[in-house]
Structure 1
């Protein structure tokens, strides 16, 4: 089953469950230059150029989250890619998957800007840039 949590709920889970793993499924450029939560493990679901699906996604996640019963939280830009990534991990036998609603940057506003309506940064949660 895939659970949906908002960014604050996800942060709380990461703080209270030492077995929880946060996987940032965005591209390497997004992870490094836009920013990421502390201790987020980068494993791209899709990557530039062309936003090709990462054929090794599940195997790469398994290297960081070998306990398939531990919570695995998935973060993308706005909460869409993370759902697809969670479905792939569910098919691979992961039992406690969490999609982080709103993602890191949140949805687009009326001016087509992210970060003004929701997302990890919008909620004032810890993050850094590389």
Structure 2
């Protein structure tokens, strides 16, 4: 709602009560098709700013991977004590860092399997819904 400060009316002609603060047009979000968010996967172009490229995303992923790798190396160096591990009838000494890393990876694999099963279920339900929905809806 934009106001004319000299008259105290907004652009629709409604009277704005005195003492009420109406933000200037530049401070309010625009309405209509221009303010809609772009479809997924489409970057909004802004003056002086370019979208994300594959090379830039790859570079960011490589840097993040290196940071994780460095943290893992530090973890292994600090946890070199040998521990006795018992698993499915197997018994043996293993460095503590390696035992914890294997347990973490195994936990991640279990979570990934559970997530994959759920995604498959949701895709099957969506496929069934598309088949049963009459055309034109």
Larger Rg: 2
Q: Which has the higher strand share?
A: 1
Normalising by structure 2, what TM-score? Answer: 0.21
Normalising by structure 1, what TM-score? Answer: 0.22
- Quick one: higher RCO (CA 8 Å, sep 6+), 1 or 2? 1
